[in-house]
């Protein structure tokens, strides 16, 4: 039987490889003591054979703690390189914390209880990840890096997504929008000469260009981009839309904002 | 159908081409090396005639495995086979480059590409890992202007890719996207609009971004060629009036799978206009709230079903209003395929329905039908070939309405069973063994006991004996997924008796490296191995050194691997690409203790070496 490889520090994975030895030590407990041991799992005592088995969740520190607290007093708080004190974990009642990708059911098969689950494209499941918290709590949280919002442009059927965290100012954003849509816009407007003129998309923020950049905020209101400080914008924007400047009502254009 | 993919045979061909070809019938060296054609080929040029004959004969050969064998005979046969192969299957998009595909096969009409490994479906793989369709569409756009069919599974497809596809292939007929992502309704709209010969547009279990585009209206006016339209995975409303008009002008439409935004009333309107349908995805199967309580006459759903005399496949039922389910009764006797896996149907509602479904061969459902429901299936569905039972509540602590009782009942009633996927909370060796004895035709056995490391709940023993019985008795088994408490003994049995197993899925099982060794030293036909959270380490991995060149891929996550051994494999096997990464896309782990630990290993054979599009978080050793 293979021992623990010498060149890696045994981690939580290595709870049990040498487990057999100390399991036999445990067997020196009297039956009396065994019965008194607190364990997780249904009564019946059929855990003896397998209770020495590993829990290979590297991320479920939390579970270790829970089980060690409930199990018999000889258990210690689990520390990575301390094989000797590996807890006598009962495997029958498996950990309450969720494990990534288990049971192996695709995301659209979860949440069947809610009849009107609104999954907006790939925003929910695509960005869920295990969060390696220090306290070992296994959570599935949306990633914080990369803030992707949808952006559509009038007369361009293909929408895109844009990562707002990649920019620090409205100017950078405006530049990015131009880069994103310039080619697509030109393709939509095939001139009769057959040659695509790629005109830069400018004046998105000042109302002077052919197009203007607008956004929808977290309250559903449609706003012109550029009024509020950048950070405030970032915190409230939900999606972007590039519309024809001619479509904007004069009220908005001349400085009457809704807020 | 054989799963051997292009790369394996291509590799063999590369080797074989170094050998001399056999002599021709006249006992002269074959002249098939001459690629230049002389202006007047001598009429008694045997090889030339043979090539023509061969070409005409090979046109009838469809099986991938046969064609791969043919291509190994000699250079001439290789060339002719390459020119006549019209359907190409690539099981791992990274096993070769698009350029290589285009060089070898010149007249491809149909392409099937698979991308990410299956565990990516369960969030085990960080996003942006790869499997992009873009390089493939770019190359095939130039190489195969007459491409008609593209099927993609677990690929990353963008709207731009779809636009390029639509623009590049004037005769394009069939697009099937299985478990794909990266695109939205905009891309779908472009395909609908520009592919004028489109017969099949199937979006199946894919993530489709809502770009707020009315893509249904983008189909061109006039009669369409549509035979199949599936969009049940699209999670955004559609323009129903446009759909209705589309259905009316699609006389060849046989398969229509609507999404949950189509109400029962709307479904009725569609069925009335398309009674020729053979496959129907019923959408929400509940009444839209507008009509409820208005006192209007409810449409006669049962008679709409009755009118669909050719209907053999039913799915959908996304928001099932159970009181309407009996409406399908008129077609039950004809149904060969039923998918109830989105509907929380209780046994009481289920039993009267299934009682009439004598011809069902494929049945998918939620475990809400309970063991009772499975017993009803066993009593009626004697022709059942494929069963899938999904959990309504996919957590480890849920009640578990199905168990060994249901499994055993199925095994006793459905003797022709070939494929089963069964989620449950608890299981017994007795039930699994019963299935192994009653269903000798099983080729796919996938049991998922949702509680990790759970033993036989009656005896408390590991599930070794049950799975052992499966591999011993089901001699045709090609795919196996194990779960529950398993010791190395289970793997020793799998290795010894699993002679035909090509795909093996392991999670939270085994005791030691021996488990992995048993598999790698046994299971002679193993091609795809996916393992998670099991105590298999470097020694186990090394024991398979002799095999990895002959396998499509190996996935091991949260096991006990160290970088050193993975590097050794990479060094020893240059035609295997060894990728190592973590489960989130952080850059290389800064934690020094963990620097050597490999969280995810994904390795696969490849003809063209490491890929160039690997993201930063992936290390290719």
- pLDDT tens digit string along B117-158? 999 999 898 888 999 999 999 999 999 999 999 999 999 999
B176 phi and psi angles, rounded to 5 deg = -125, 120
CA–chain centroid gap for B509, Å, is 24
Give the number of other CB atoms < 10 A from CB of residue B247: 22
Q: Is residue A214 part of a domain?
A: yes
**pLDDT for the residue B411:** 97
Residue B504's nearest CA partner among B8, B118, B31, B23 is B118
- Using alpha carbons only, give the angle B104, B105, B109 rounded to the nearest 5 degrees: 160
For residue B57, name the pLDDT band (cuts at 50, 70, 90). Answer: confident
CB-side exposure of B74: number of CA atoms within 13 Å?
15
Specify which residues B577 forms β-bridges with: B604
Scanning the structure block, which residue is given the tokens 């707002």? A164
B245 or B69, greater pLDDT: B245
- CA dihedral of A163, A168, A171, A175, whole degrees rounded to 10: -30
**Confidence (pLDDT) at B45:** 58
**Which tens digit of pLDDT belongs to each residue from B455-514?**
999 999 999 999 999 999 999 999 999 999 999 999 999 999 999 999 999 999 999 999
Mean pLDDT for A91-100 is 55
DSSP A212: E
Among A234, A178, A81, A90, CA closest to B485: A90
Q: Indicate whether A8 belongs to any domain.
A: no
Placement of tokens 């530049």 in the chain: A175
User: Positive or negative, the Cα torsion across B141, B201, B7, B576?
Assistant: positive
Domain enclosing residue A205, as ranges: 144-188+200-258
| CA-wise closest residue to B280 among B219, B333, B232, B341 | B232
Burial zone of A53 (CB within 10 Å; 0-12 exposed, 13-18 middle, 19+ buried): buried
Please check the confidence at residue B560 and state whether its pLDDT lies above 50: yes
Shortest CB distance from A157 goes to which of B210, B213, B392?
Answer: B213
Task: Count structural domains, chain A.
Answer: 1
- pTM, two decimals, is 0.71
Contacts of B341 in chain A (CB under 8 A): 109
- Determine the Cα angle at B194 with ends B192 and B195, to 5°: 75
The reply to whether residue B123 touches residue A110, judged by beta carbons under 8 angstroms, is no
Which of A66-75, A89-98, A250-259, B543-552 is least confident? A66-75
**Is residue A137, in this structure, part of any structural domain at all?**
no
**pLDDT above 70 (res A254):** no
SS (H, E, C) A115-164: CCCCCCCCCCCCCEEEEECCCCCEEEEECCCCCEEEEEECCEEEEEEEEH
Residues of B in contact with A107 (CB under 8 A): 123
Write out the two tokens for A129. 């990840």
Which tokens hold the place of A226?
């550029």
3-state DSSP call for residue B309?
A: coil
CATH label of the domain that carries residue A246: 3.10.20.90
Cβ distance of B535 and A128 shorter than 8 Å: no
Record the tokens describing residue B223, joined without a space.
Answer: 């009669």
A105 assigned to some structural domain: no
Q: Is A220 part of a structural domain of the chain?
A: yes
Token pair listed for B446:
């996938």
Pairing of strands B149-153, B174-178: parallel
Lowest-confidence region among A78-87, A137-146, A245-254, B145-154: A78-87
For residue A67, being part of any structural domain is answered with no
Does residue B539 surpass a pLDDT of 50? Answer: yes
pLDDT, residue B235, reads 94
| Nearest neighbour of A122 by CB, restricted to B122, B187, B207 | B207
Portion 159-178 of B in contact with A at CB < 8 A? 159-160, 163
Q: How many CB atoms lie within 10 A of CB A224?
A: 20
Tokens of B341: 């896996």
Task: Say whether residue B342 is in contact with chain A using an 8 A CB cutoff.
Answer: yes
Distance CA A43, CA A198 (A): 75
Chain A CB within 8 Å of residue B180 CB:
no
CA distance A38 to A54: 18
pLDDT band at A238 (very low <50, low <70, confident <90, very high): confident
Inter-CA distances, B24 with B30, B38, B392, B619, Å: 5, 19, 64, 49
pLDDT higher than 70, residue A37: no
A195, part of any domain: no
Instruction: Classify A137 as helix, strand or coil.
Output: coil
Residues in chain B with CB shorter than 8 Å from the CB of A150 are 209, 211
Whole-Å CA distances, B596 to B82, B508, B580: 45, 22, 11
Write out the two tokens for B208: 């489709």
Q: Report the SS3 class of residue B481.
A: strand
Residues 435-494 of B with CB under 8 A from A: 448, 450-455, 459-462, 485
Asked if B66 has any chain A CB less than 8 Å from its own CB, the reply is no
Of A191-195, B103-107, B294-298, minimum mean pLDDT range: A191-195
Within 13 Å and on the Cβ side, how many CA atoms surround A62?
17
- Tell me: pLDDT of B59 over 50: yes
CB atoms within 10 A of CB B478: 19
Give the residues across from A129 on adjacent strands: A141
Does the residue A218 lie in any domain?
Answer: yes
How confident is the model over B361-367, as a mean pLDDT?
A: 97
Share in percent of chain B as helix, strand, coil (round to 5): 35, 20, 45
Asked if the Cβ–Cβ distance from A56 to B508 is below 8 Å, we say yes
> What's the pLDDT band for A50 if we cut at 50, 70, 90?
very low
Question: Which chain A residues are within 8 Å of B535, Cβ to Cβ?
Answer: 13, 16-17, 54, 56
CB nearest B124 (choices: A57, A101, A140): A101
Q: How many other CB atoms are found less than 10 A from the CB of residue A179?
A: 11
The Cα–Cα gap between A136 and A121 comes to 30
Interchain pair B212, A159: CB under 8 A: yes
Q: What is the pLDDT of chain B when averaged over all its residues?
A: 89
Predicted local distance difference test score (pLDDT) of residue B475: 97
């Amino acid at each position: 039987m293979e021992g623990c490889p010498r060149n890696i520090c045994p981690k939580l994975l290595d709870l049990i490889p040498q487990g057999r030895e100390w399991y036999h030590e445990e067997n020196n407990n009297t039956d009396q003591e065994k019965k008194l041991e607190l364990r997780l799992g249904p009564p019946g005592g059929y855990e003896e054979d397998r209770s020495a088995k590993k829990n290979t969740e590297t991320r479920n520190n939390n579970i270790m703690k829970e089980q060690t607290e409930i199990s018999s007093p000889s258990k210690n708080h689990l520390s990575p390189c301390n094989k000797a004190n590996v807890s006598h974990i009962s495997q029958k009642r498996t950990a309450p914390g969720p494990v990534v990708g288990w049971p192996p059911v695709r995301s659209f098969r979860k949440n069947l209880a809610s009849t009107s689950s609104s999954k907006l494209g790939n925003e929910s499941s695509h960005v869920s990840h295990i969060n390696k918290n220090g306290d070992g709590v296994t959570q599935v949280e949306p990633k914080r890096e990369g803030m992707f919002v949808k952006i559509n442009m009038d007369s361009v059927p293909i929408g895109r997504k844009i990562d707002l965290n990649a920019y620090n100012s409205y100017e950078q954003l405006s530049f990015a929008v131009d880069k994103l849509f310039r080619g697509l816009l030109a393709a939509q407007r095939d001139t009769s000469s057959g040659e695509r003129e790629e005109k830069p998309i400018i004046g998105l923020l000042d109302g002077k260009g052919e197009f203007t950049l607008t956004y929808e905020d977290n309250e559903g209101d449609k706003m012109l981009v550029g009024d509020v400080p950048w950070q405030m914008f970032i915190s409230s924007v939900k999606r972007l839309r590039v519309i024809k400047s001619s479509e904007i009502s004069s009220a908005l254009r001349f400085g009457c904002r809704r807020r | 159908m054989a799963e051997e993919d292009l790369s394996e045979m291509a590799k063999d061909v590369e080797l074989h081409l170094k050998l001399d070809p056999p002599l021709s019938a006249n006992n002269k060296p074959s002249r098939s090396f001459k690629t230049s054609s002389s202006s007047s080929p001598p009429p008694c040029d045997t090889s030339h005639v043979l090539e023509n004959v061969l070409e005409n004969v090979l046109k009838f050969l469809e099986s991938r495995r046969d064609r791969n064998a043919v291509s190994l005979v000699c250079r001439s046969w290789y060339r002719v086979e390459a020119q006549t192969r019209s359907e190409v299957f690539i099981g791992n998009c990274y096993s070769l480059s698009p350029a290589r595909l285009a060089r070898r096969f010149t007249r491809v009409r149909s392409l099937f590409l698979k991308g990410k490994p299956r565990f990516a479906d369960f969030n085990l793989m960080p996003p942006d890992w790869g499997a992009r369709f873009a390089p493939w569409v770019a190359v095939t756009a130039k190489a195969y202007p007459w491409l008609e069919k593209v099927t993609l599974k677990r690929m990353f497809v963008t709207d731009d890719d779809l636009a390029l596809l639509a623009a590049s292939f004037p005769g394009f007929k069939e697009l099937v996207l299985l478990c794909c992502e990266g695109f939205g309704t905009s891309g779908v709209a472009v395909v609908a609009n520009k592919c004028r010969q489109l017969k099949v547009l199937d979006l199946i279990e894919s993530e489709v971004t809502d770009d707020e585009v009315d893509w249904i209206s983008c189909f061109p006016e006039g009669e369409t060629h549509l035979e199949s339209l599936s969009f049940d995975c699209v999670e955004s409303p559609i323009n129903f009036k446009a759909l209705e008009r589309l259905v009316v002008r699609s006389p060849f439409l046989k398969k229509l799978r609507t999404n949950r935004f189509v109400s029962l009333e709307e479904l009725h309107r569609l069925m009335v206009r398309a009674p020729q349908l053979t496959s129907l995805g019923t959408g929400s199967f509940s009444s839209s709230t507008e009509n409820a309580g208005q006192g209007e006459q409810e449409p006669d759903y049962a008679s709409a079903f009755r009118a669909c005399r050719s209907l053999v496949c039913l799915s959908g039922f996304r928001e099932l209003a159970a009181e309407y389910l009996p409406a399908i009764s008129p077609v039950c006797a004809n149904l060969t395929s039923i998918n109830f896996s989105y509907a929380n149907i209780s046994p009481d509602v289920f039993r009267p329905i299934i009682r009439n479904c004598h011809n069902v061969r494929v049945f998918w459902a939620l475990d809400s039908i309970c063991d009772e429901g499975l017993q009803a299936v066993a009593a009626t569905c004697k022709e059942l070939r494929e069963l899938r039972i999904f959990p309504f509540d996919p957590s480890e602590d849920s009640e578990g309405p199905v168990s060994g009782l249901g499994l055993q009942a199925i095994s006793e009633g459905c003797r022709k069973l070939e494929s089963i996927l069964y989620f449950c909370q608890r299981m017994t060796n007795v039930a699994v063994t019963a299935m192994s004895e009653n269903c000798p035709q099983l080729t796919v056995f996938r049991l998922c006991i949702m509680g990790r490391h759970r033993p036989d709940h009656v005896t408390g023993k590991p599930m070794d004996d049950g799975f052992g019985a499966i591999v011993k008795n089901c001699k045709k088994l090609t795919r196996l997924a194990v779960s529950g408490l398993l010791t190395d003994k289970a793997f020793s049995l799998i290795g010894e008796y699993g002679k035909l197993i090509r795909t093996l899925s392991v999670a939270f099982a085994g005791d030691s490296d021996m488990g992995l060794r048993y598999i790698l030293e046994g299971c002679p036909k193993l091609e795809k191995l996916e393992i998670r959270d099991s105590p298999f380490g470097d020694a186990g991995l090394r024991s398979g050194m002799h095999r990895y060149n002959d396998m499509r891929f190996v996935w091991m996550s949260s096991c006990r691997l160290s970088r050193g051994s993975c590097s050794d494999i990479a060094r020893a096997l240059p035609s295997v690409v060894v990728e190592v990464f973590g489960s989130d896309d952080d850059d290389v782990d800064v934690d020094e203790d963990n620097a050597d630990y490999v969280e995810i290993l994904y390795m696969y054979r490849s003809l063209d070496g490491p890929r160039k599009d690997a993201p930063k978080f992936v290390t290719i050793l």
